[in-house]
């Protein structure tokens, strides 16, 4: 079976994708600097603790690798507005170093974690892949820059002297868990909606709702919530495509259906049986009003479809995981 390097494999989506890859029989090695991920998410025999900026270390790990799945990045929109330099250095600089290591090691296939944040405030929703890039946060800008570099590498065949091929997966809102594998969402500090709703429900301390004056049905932001298991399946499909010699692509990964923050809050109350206290707050910098995917291209090209992304199924898996891993 092919050997895959997963960068950022100690993180939330990375660790769950590894679980899916190994179930499929892939050999997996991992590079993670553990600055944001959790050591216990990865089998120690698979893990090299290194920064992607350490090109020599990453080149060594790439020996015998057939393709890379690249998750390692910082992901907090709000933090990226306060510390843009950190996001460009880690998300762009780290990725460029990875490309150099791949060139040295002769590895020329990559699946990239991109984001709906590359679109900013889209002109139309659901958002197709050919929508204009107009990110409104340094986080989104860092991912858009990497996509530009990927296009250039593909055009110029500049990795390993042979055709470089990639799939960029633009995630909408990753959520849910793989409770059976003991894997789920646990960021510190936590900034994501669903774990924060659970924390508010359990602690009784209100969650702040960032903005109630958006042009949406109830004034709160609309997002397309995609189960992390469905997201992991999209990575496996993208790898199969590249390993079979497929062309470069970018794909939205979402369901095509949006929920407002208040709808997610109410659904959380139903799933947990607890009241979620909340208070209305100012808009958060860098937030777009509505992000919903047109995911038709991924469905038709890679025969992928969301199977676990019903909002109640997402919240049920996430709640199971949260109860076993309280903050
Ligand atoms: N959100 C919120 N309060 C919070 C965290 C998030 O109102 O404490 C909102 C946020 O403004 C966005 C949605 O929930 O509209 C999803 O945010 P999250 O950070 O989970 O994901 P993002 O959309 O930034 O990728």
- Looking at the fold, whether 163 and 311 belong to one and the same domain comes out as no
Same domain, yes or no: 29 and 124: yes
**Structural domain boundaries enclosing 110:** 3-174+226-253
pLDDT digits (tens, 9 = 90+) for 104-118: 999 999 999 999 999
Q: Provide the pLDDT for residue 180.
A: 87
User: Are residues 138 and 212 located together in one domain of the fold?
Assistant: no
Helix orientation angle between 193-203 and 311-324, rounded to the nearest 10 degrees: 60
* Ligand 1 atom 1: residue of nearest CA: 193
Atom of ligand 1 nearest to the CA of 75: 25
| Average pLDDT rounded to a whole number, residues 43-63 | 98
Instruction: Mark which of 253, 268, 295 sits at the end of a domain.
Output: 253
- pLDDT on residue 157: 77
Q: Which residues contact 268 (CB under 8 A, 6 or more apart)?
A: 194, 197, 198, 201, 276, 315, 319
Are residues 312 and 182 part of one domain?
yes
Domains: count for the chain: 2
**Of 206, 210, 258, 292, best ligand 1 pocket probe by most atoms within 8 Å of the beta carbon:** 210
Return the structure tokens found at 174: 């990753």
Residue 66: CATH number of its domain: 3.40.50.720
Distance 309 CA to ligand 1 centre (A): 18
Identify whether residues 238 and 164 lie together within a single domain: yes
Query: Domain with 275 in it: what CATH number?
Result: 3.90.25.10
Mean pLDDT, range 147-170, rounded to an integer = 90
Residues of the chain with pLDDT > 90, as a percent, come to: 91
Same domain for 129 and 90? yes
Region 273-286: mean pLDDT is: 94
Both 244 and 295 in one domain: the answer is no
* Closest ligand 1 atom number to CA of residue 210: 7
Q: Which of 234, 253, 272 is the last residue of a domain?
A: 253
Q: Are residue 208 and residue 101 in the same domain, yes or no? A: no
> 233 C-alpha vs ligand 1 centroid, how far in Å?
24
User: Final residue of a domain: which of 253, 268, 300?
Assistant: 253
Q: Are strands 27-32 and 3-7 parallel, antiparallel or unpaired?
A: parallel
What pLDDT shows up at residue 30? 98
Indicate whether 52 and 82 sit together in one domain. yes
CA angle, 61 then 241 then 141, to 5°: 70
Do 42 and 11 lie in one domain? The reply is yes
Q: Give the CB-side neighbour count of residue 219, counting CA atoms within 13 A.
A: 9
Going by C-alpha positions, the residue among 152, 84, 141, 87 that lies closest to residue 114 is 141
pLDDT 10s digits, 296-321? 999 999 999 999 999 999 999 999 99
Closest approach atom of ligand 1 to CA 117: 25
Identify which of 191, 193, 225 to mutate to test ligand 1's pocket (most ligand atoms within 8 A of the CB): 193
Residue 55 Cα to ligand 1 middle (Å): 34
Residues 41, 15 share a domain: yes
Comparison of pLDDT for 130 and 190, the residue scoring more: 130
Shared domain for 164 and 199, answered yes or no, is no
Q: How far is the CA of 249 from the centre of ligand 1 (A)?
A: 28
87 belongs to the catalytic site: no
- Of 304, 124, 138, 160, whose CA–CA distance to 231 is shortest? 304
Residue 4 phi/psi, 5-degree rounding, is -120, 135
């Amino acid at each position: 079976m092919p050997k895959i390097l997963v960068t950022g494999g100690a993180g939330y989506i990375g660790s769950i994708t590894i679980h899916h890859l190994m179930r499929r029989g892939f050999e997996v090695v991992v590079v993670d600097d553990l600055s944001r991920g959790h050591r216990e998410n990865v089998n120690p025999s698979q893990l090299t603790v290194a920064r992607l900026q350490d090109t020599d270390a990453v080149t060594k790990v790439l020996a015998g690798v057939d393709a890379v799945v690249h998750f390692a990045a910082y992901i907090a929109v709000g933090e990226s507005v306060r510390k843009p330099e950190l996001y460009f250095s880690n998300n762009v600089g780290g990725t460029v170093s990875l490309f150099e290591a791949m060139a040295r090691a002769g590895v020329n296939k990559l699946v990239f974690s991109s984001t709906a944040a590359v679109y900013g405030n889209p002109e139309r929703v659901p958002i197709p892949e050919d929508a204009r890039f107009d990110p409104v946060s340094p986080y989104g800008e860092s991912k858009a820059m990497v996509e530009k570099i990927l296009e250039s590498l593909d055009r110029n065949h500049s990795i390993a002297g042979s055709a470089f091929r990639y799939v960029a997966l633009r995630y909408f809102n990753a959520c849910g868990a793989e409770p059976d594998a003991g894997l789920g969402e646990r960021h510190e500090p936590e900034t994501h909606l669903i774990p924060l709703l659970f924390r508010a429900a359990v602690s009784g301390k209100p969650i702040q709702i960032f903005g109630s004056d958006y042009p949406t049905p109830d004034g709160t932001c609309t997002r397309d919530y995609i189960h992390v298991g469905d997201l992991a399946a999209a990575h496996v499909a993208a790898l199969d495509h590249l390993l079979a010699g497929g062309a470069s692509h970018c794909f939205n990964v979402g369901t095509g259906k949006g929920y407002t923050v208040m709808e997610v809050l109410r659904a959380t109350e139903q799933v947990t049986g607890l009241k979620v206290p909340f208070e209305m707050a100012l808009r958060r910098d860098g937030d777009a009003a509505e992000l919903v995917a047109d995911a038709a291209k991924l469905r038709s090209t890679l025969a992928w479809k969301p199977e676990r992304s019903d909002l109640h199924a997402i919240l049920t898996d996430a709640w199971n995981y949260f109860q076993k891993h309280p903050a």
